[in-house]
Amino acid sequence: MKLLNKYITFLLFISFNLITYSQITKDYDLWLQYTKTYIYNDLLKNISLDTNNETEKVIKSELELASLKMYGFKPKFTNTGNADLILKKNSELDSSQKNISEKVNKLNNEGFVIETIKNSGKQRIIISSKTSIGLLYGTFRLLRELQISPNKKEFNIIDEPKLKVRMLNHWDNLDGTIERGYAGNSLWNWQKLPELIDRRYIDYARANASVGINAVTLNNVNANALILTPYYLEKVKALADTFRPFGIKVYLTARFSAPIEIGNLKTADPLNTEVQQWWNEKTNEVYKYIPDFGGYLVKANSEGQPGPQNYGRNHVDGANMLAKVLKPHNGIVMWRAFVYSETDSSDRAKQAYREFVPYDGKFEENVLVQVKNGAIDFQPREPFHPIFGAMPQSKLMMEFQITQEYLGFSSHLVFLPKLYEEVLKSSTKNKEKENTVAQIISSRSNELSGIAGVANIGNDLNWTGHPFAQANWYSFGRLAWNPELNSEQIAKEWLQQTFSNNSDFVASISKMMIKSRESVVKYMTPLGLHHIMGTDHHYGPGPWVNNLARPEWNPVYYHKADKNGIGFDRTSIGSNALSQYSPEISQYFGDLKSCPEEYLLWFHHLPWDYKMKNDRTLWDNLGIKYQEGVNEVRNMIKIWNDSKKYIDTERHQEISQLLEIQLKEAIWWKDACMSYFQSISNLPYPKEMEIPIYSLEYYKSLKFPYAPGIKPHW
């Protein structure tokens, strides 16, 4: 009996570990699952590939891994024209493949062609590009196609990235914490680098390369000058060496006061020759460690970070000083436009435009002005930043946030590409005319262009804290490659690679993903409300907060609710932030008849009894929207439960549990916000709305000193 018990315990132990192990690897493997397919495909049996450089070795090992996992065999690598798959740079194609070579010639260096040809009576696939990196991108593309359409044998794909710099911004601190990180601590183990190259660095690089991300800024924009000292540069070099074969360049944030902090100078004035000399020498030193170093990302004169204005200089003085020292090395500066004044208490939404637009055309050619998608700060919904339509002589780079600072951390399932797409497709002139944000940030001919996403990656086993947050990393990469892509398509292909190719599963879950962004807007900030979250940690609702040092840090500044109504008047009789848009757009948002309800309270202050399109009052609609958001999360739970049979129990359960958190917090948002707004409007809740569970005092009393994403208050 005792022996039997021991045996059962042993079996339980083994099965528990197997389950945990399979969950860990599935979560860890991201969209590179290479799930076994029972459709026999011999496309990868014999592969012709030179392995002359590190990138080509990466291609080889990815093809081996994928083939083994999907088809159960290791490919044979040969160097003949008889292979099933032939990877060749266009300079190496033979004369019979002239037309492929011509197609490649028209592409940029990272572009590729995948084509099925017939030769010696057999179908073969050719991947060709000008560079090894292009071949790597082509390989990942082929592997994606094979996962999505296992039956496919004929390919005719020509593709190239529309943006040059496709970057992740890590807000990782040197102490291992991540500002606004909700997936654990930093991946970068500074203590053990440069010797220890964690396997995760390689898998991180694979994941990035598979979607075309080719740039990473390793450290926080709230910068620490120490990253530029030899002690850290040696470690940065180790990461750069690891990422290079995957086509990824490393960038660092440059703390503007570094010449004082680590250079022993008395000033960091960009017009001071000693300062200029210091940056020149420092930059040369960085390039000695990392010959293909990408450049500097700078947050200056923003939220307490030092900058040129500390010395009476301006953004151009600062950015161009750094641009000049980087130029001989082909490096670039990404100068952030996320600024708002410490002294101007008018409309924060107007301040970045005021500080930057006068300098249009004055930045060096290797400067990208990095602009957040909206004028406040990564809210669940913001109209596009007016700067995008106002600096035609400058190179503007988009900054999106992938980490969900204002969108439920990594507990809420929110598919962000809907948000990205909305901004990218926004027309800066008139709804009909061309000139979308996507077009403005895309490369004009061969010019520098870029897009950055604030990473949602940490050292959690599943990388992003929530399995569905992996979709946001994936999609950011896909949209960075081509900002015109459609978010629904991206959702589908991500699901197919990550979970299952079953068409019912993909149809229902992609629909759920697509709706999820609107749901979070509804249960957090419906009808154009914004910035009403809890102080500092930004966790949960805090529309009542009105005691912070600067006016624009307080939620009451943004919703302006009083007994008569609610909303921020940004029309000509209000702050007139609308005047920063083109006349057509300003008219469109400014006129109540055309302003979409989604942006109503962003641009208008309206009475509680204002009649909306559905003939109900603004007050009623507020309650209805909050309730809809909650109901939609309930529906997500139902849809997810119904999908149980399609995927592994472990990930299914994990996501079900996370959805319960989302529901709890959606109800909390609704109840807290509506209780507070009711204390001001004194109106009865609309009949559609469930009555708040607790009192307003209760919601106000909640404190979260240990919420993730900020330094804890011990």
The size of the interface with ligand GCV (CB under 6 A), counted in residues, is 10
The DSSP-derived string for 191-227 is: TTTTT---HHHHHHHHHHHHHT--EEE-S-SS--GGG
CB 184 within 8 A of CB 220: no
d(CA 222, CA 621): 40
Helices (H) and strands (E) in the chain — how many of each?
21, 16
Name beta bridge partners: 124.
117
Our CB check for ligand GCV shows the closer of 338 and 685 to be: 338
d(CA 606, CA 611): 10
Residue of the chain from 54, 145, 179, 654 that contacts ligand GCV (CB under 6 A):
179
The DSSP-derived string for 43-61 is: GGSEEE----SHHHHHHHH
Q: How far is the CB of 105 from ligand GCV (least distance, A)?
A: 41
557 binds ligand GCV (CB under 6 A): no
Of the chain, the end-to-end C-alpha distance in Å amounts to 52
Our CB check for ligand GCV shows the closer of 300 and 506 to be: 300
Residue of the chain from 34, 140, 171, 359 that contacts ligand GCV (CB under 6 A):
171
Our CB check for ligand GCV shows the closer of 340 and 589 to be: 340
Our CB check for ligand GCV shows the closer of 169 and 464 to be: 169
> Known catalytic residue: 154?
no
Pick the catalytic residue from 405, 421, 422, 552.
405
Residue of the chain from 218, 221, 275, 440 that contacts ligand GCV (CB under 6 A):
221
Q: Would you call 393 exposed, middle or buried from its count of C-beta atoms within 10 A (0-12, 13-18, 19+)? A: exposed
Q: How far is the CB of 372 from ligand GCV (least distance, A)?
A: 7
Per-residue binder mask for ligand GCV (CB under 6 A), 321-350, x = binder: -----------------x------------
Our CB check for ligand GCV shows the closer of 78 and 535 to be: 535
Q: How far is the CB of 299 from ligand GCV (least distance, A)?
A: 5
Q: How far is the CB of 457 from ligand GCV (least distance, A)?
A: 15
Pick the catalytic residue from 241, 377, 609, 650.
377
Residue of the chain from 51, 116, 222, 501 that contacts ligand GCV (CB under 6 A):
222
Residue of the chain from 130, 141, 144, 180 that contacts ligand GCV (CB under 6 A):
180
170 binds ligand GCV (CB under 6 A): no
> Known catalytic residue: 365?
no
d(CA 522, CA 626): 5
Neighbouring C-alpha atoms within 13 Å toward the C-beta of 434: 3
536 binds ligand GCV (CB under 6 A): no
Per-residue binder mask for ligand GCV (CB under 6 A), 300-319, x = binder: ---x----------------
- Token look-up 């459709």 returns 39
Cβ contacts of residue 615 below 8 Å, gap of 6+? none
Q: How far is the CB of 249 from ligand GCV (least distance, A)?
A: 22
CB 453 within 8 A of CB 167: yes
> Known catalytic residue: 377?
yes
**Long-range interactions of 65-73: CB distance < 8 A, separation 24+:** 65/34, 66/34, 66/143, 66/146, 69/33, 69/34, 69/35, 69/36, 70/34, 70/35, 70/36, 70/37, 70/41, 70/146, 70/147, 70/150, 71/36, 71/37, 71/40, 71/41, 71/42, 71/44, 72/36, 73/45
Angle between helices 503-524 and 618-642 (to 10 degrees): 150
377 binds ligand GCV (CB under 6 A): yes
d(CA 178, CA 708): 9
Stated as kind and residue range, the H or E segment containing 76 is strand 76-78
Pick the catalytic residue from 92, 274, 292, 303.
303
CB 541 within 8 A of CB 647: no
**Closest listed residue to residue 196, CA positions, set 228, 160, 238, 231:** 238
Our CB check for ligand GCV shows the closer of 55 and 217 to be: 217
- Pairing mode, strands 122-129 and 112-119: antiparallel
Our CB check for ligand GCV shows the closer of 221 and 636 to be: 221
d(CA 667, CA 556): 21
Q: How far is the CB of 350 from ligand GCV (least distance, A)?
A: 17
Our CB check for ligand GCV shows the closer of 146 and 556 to be: 556
CB 294 within 8 A of CB 250: yes
Our CB check for ligand GCV shows the closer of 234 and 303 to be: 303
CB atoms under 10 Å from CB of 11, counted, come to 10
Q: How far is the CB of 536 from ligand GCV (least distance, A)?
A: 9
The DSSP-derived string for 323-334 is: HHHHGGGT-EEE
User: What residues between 398 and 437 interact with ligand GCV by CB under 6 A?
Assistant: 405
- Token look-up 């980490």 returns 403
CB 652 within 8 A of CB 528: no
Our CB check for ligand GCV shows the closer of 536 and 690 to be: 536
Q: How far is the CB of 180 from ligand GCV (least distance, A)?
A: 5
Our CB check for ligand GCV shows the closer of 222 and 229 to be: 222
Report the phi/psi class of residue 3: left, alpha or beta, with left for phi > 0 and alpha for psi in -120 to 50: alpha
Applying CB under 6 A, which residues contact ligand GCV?
171, 179-180, 221-222, 299, 303, 338, 377, 405
Supply the residues annotated as catalytic. 303, 377, 405
